[in-house]
Amino acid sequence: MKRRREDMEIVWQTPANPPERHDYIFRNGVRYVRPYYFEFICYVKNRWAGKTIVDLFSDEFKGRPYDYYVSAVKSGRIQVDGEMVPVSYIVQPSQKISHFLHRHEPPVKAMEVSVLQKELDVLTVCKPASVPVHPCGQYRKNTVVGILQAEHGLAPLFPIHRLDRLVSGLLILATSASKADLFRQQIEAGMVQKQYVAKVIGVFPEDEQVVNANVNYNAREGRSTTEVESVENGSTPLKGKAACTKFTRISSNGTHSIILCEPITGRTHQIRVHLQYMGHPIANDMLYLSEVTDRSTKGMGADRAAAKSAQSLPSNPDKDYSAGSEENSKEDFSIDPMCTNCPNLAPKGYDGHEEGLWLHCVRYTGPAWTYECSYPDWALLD
């Protein structure tokens, strides 16, 4: 018999609480995390000092209304150095601020994180698109590392390279810090070759193409731009970091091309922005599709494609990812009266219908080792 909400004891989680299998709810091809109580901790920066505790939150964390922060301070959901304070409390530098919150993680596609190879100190998996590699931002349990721990009992895990959240394919994880360090040393020494496949707009040139164009990432906008030396800016230092990518056409059907991408450097969004620079952006990359490209040839955008892909999820004999069962549809979770996201499973602005980029990691090769992942279905042109 279920206890009423007011009789339930709140259990606060910290990063030390590992994800568990029952933390996930599957609905309509989407993997949700059951909302949970979590303590967010930060320390007062010098520029925050002198503000009231409520003004600090309303100025710096604009995702919730002012009235919420007033209520959170009064109820003890926001504390300073482990103590309740009045709403007029003035914060001082370096003080510990705790925000006890009913946490709703963004949803991801309900696709399996499949284990490709398991060695003594190395694990390789095929990362699904839309799932971040490790905890970041609002994601903690809905990550590759979290899912592997919850569903396979694999921990600790040390990712030795990163894939953007919307990118799929080969991901290499070490099971010891020493092995992870060895991999990173090889990568930093330029001893590791990386290969991706991409589906791009147009007929890509037959001959191998090498792009040398600096990549300048703008964290505020979440996108990169390319820079190259020219007569006009020859005397002005380029802001971006040096970047080089080699491209080879695999196939083309006259509308799209499948490209093998070999990044020599590893800049943020390097492959995506170098393909845009060449005039052949990834066909569903709405962030980098050129404005001059005929919209009728852009293919299906990342968000629009989700509706179709959700109905064709890969089957797995050990898990039902269809998520439409009666049992799943009635999964219960605590509704928090102060939560600004309840009663929804996802935070505001996340509907879970997000398709991945047509960019997929297929191979990493280093000194005396190679790890591979099979090509995705979209890499086979009609």
pLDDT at 231: 55
Please tell me the chain's helix, strand, coil percentages from 3-state DSSP, rounded to the nearest 5.
20, 30, 50
Count the domains in the chain. 1
Pair 202, 381: CB distance under 8 Å: no
pLDDT at 208: 96
Is a pLDDT exceeding 80 seen at residue 324? no
Question: In sequence order, what E strands does 90-233 have?
Answer: 96-103, 108-109, 114-118, 122-127, 158-159, 168-174, 193-201, 209-212, 214-218, 223-227
The residue-averaged pLDDT of 249-270 equals: 96
- pTM value is 0.82
Is residue 62 very low, low, confident or very high in pLDDT (cuts 50, 70, 90)?
A: confident
- 128 vs 381, more confident: 128
Give the domain range for residue 159: 108-320+350-379
The residue-averaged pLDDT of 4-19 equals: 69
Alpha carbon separation from 266 to 52, 243, 292, 369 (Å, rounded): 43, 7, 28, 20
Look at residue 21 and tell me if it is in a domain.
no
∠ CA 93-97-103, rounded to 5°:
150
pLDDT at 224: 93
Rg (CA), the chain: 23
Look at residue 103 and tell me if it is in a domain.
no
∠ CA 207-212-214, rounded to 5°:
150
Pair 171, 161: CB distance under 8 Å: yes
Task: Report the SS3 class of residue 151.
Answer: helix
153-173 confidence digits (pLDDT tens)? 999 999 999 899 999 999 999
Spatial CA neighbour of 356 closest among 161, 144, 131? 131
The residue-averaged pLDDT of 51-67 equals: 93
Look at residue 14 and tell me if it is in a domain.
no
- 32 vs 11, more confident: 32
Alpha carbon separation from 336 to 69, 104, 332 (Å, rounded): 15, 11, 13
Is residue 331 very low, low, confident or very high in pLDDT (cuts 50, 70, 90)?
A: low
The dihedral built from the CA positions of residue 155, 159, 165 and 171, taken in this order, carries a sign that is negative
- Mean pLDDT in the chain? 85
pLDDT at 298: 40
Look at residue 34 and tell me if it is in a domain.
no
Is residue 327 very low, low, confident or very high in pLDDT (cuts 50, 70, 90)?
A: very low
Look at residue 285 and tell me if it is in a domain.
yes
The CATH number given to whatever domain includes residue 250 is 3.30.2350.10
- How many alpha carbons fall within 13 Å on the CB side of residue 201? 27
Is a pLDDT exceeding 60 seen at residue 109? yes
Q: Cβ atoms within 10 A of the Cβ of 213, count?
A: 21
Look at residue 368 and tell me if it is in a domain.
yes
Is residue 37 very low, low, confident or very high in pLDDT (cuts 50, 70, 90)?
A: very high
Q: Where are the alpha helices (DSSP H) in the chain?
A: 53-60, 66-75, 144-152, 177-188, 270-278, 306-309, 326-329
Is residue 288 very low, low, confident or very high in pLDDT (cuts 50, 70, 90)?
A: very high
Is a pLDDT exceeding 90 seen at residue 301? no
Q: Cis check for the bond before 156: say yes or no (omega within 30 of 0).
A: yes
- 354 vs 148, more confident: 148
81-91 confidence digits (pLDDT tens)? 999 999 999 99
The b/e string for 258-287 (b: 16+ C-beta within 10 A; e otherwise) is: bbbbbbbebbbbbbbbbbbbbebbbbbbeb
The tokens for 260 are 């093998």
- 36 vs 63, more confident: 36
Q: Which of 5-19, 44-58, 357-371 has the lowest mean pLDDT?
A: 5-19
Is a pLDDT exceeding 60 seen at residue 329? no
Look at residue 130 and tell me if it is in a domain.
yes
Q: How far is Cα 68 from Cα 61, in angstroms, rounded to an integer?
A: 11
Provide the percentage of residues in the chain whose pLDDT is more than 70.
Answer: 85
pLDDT at 92: 96
Look at residue 270 and tell me if it is in a domain.
yes
The residue-averaged pLDDT of 102-111 equals: 94
Please identify every residue annotated as catalytic: 164
pLDDT at 9: 66
Pair 93, 46: CB distance under 8 Å: yes
pLDDT at 355: 81
The residue-averaged pLDDT of 13-35 equals: 91
Q: How far is Cα 25 from Cα 32, in angstroms, rounded to an integer?
A: 5
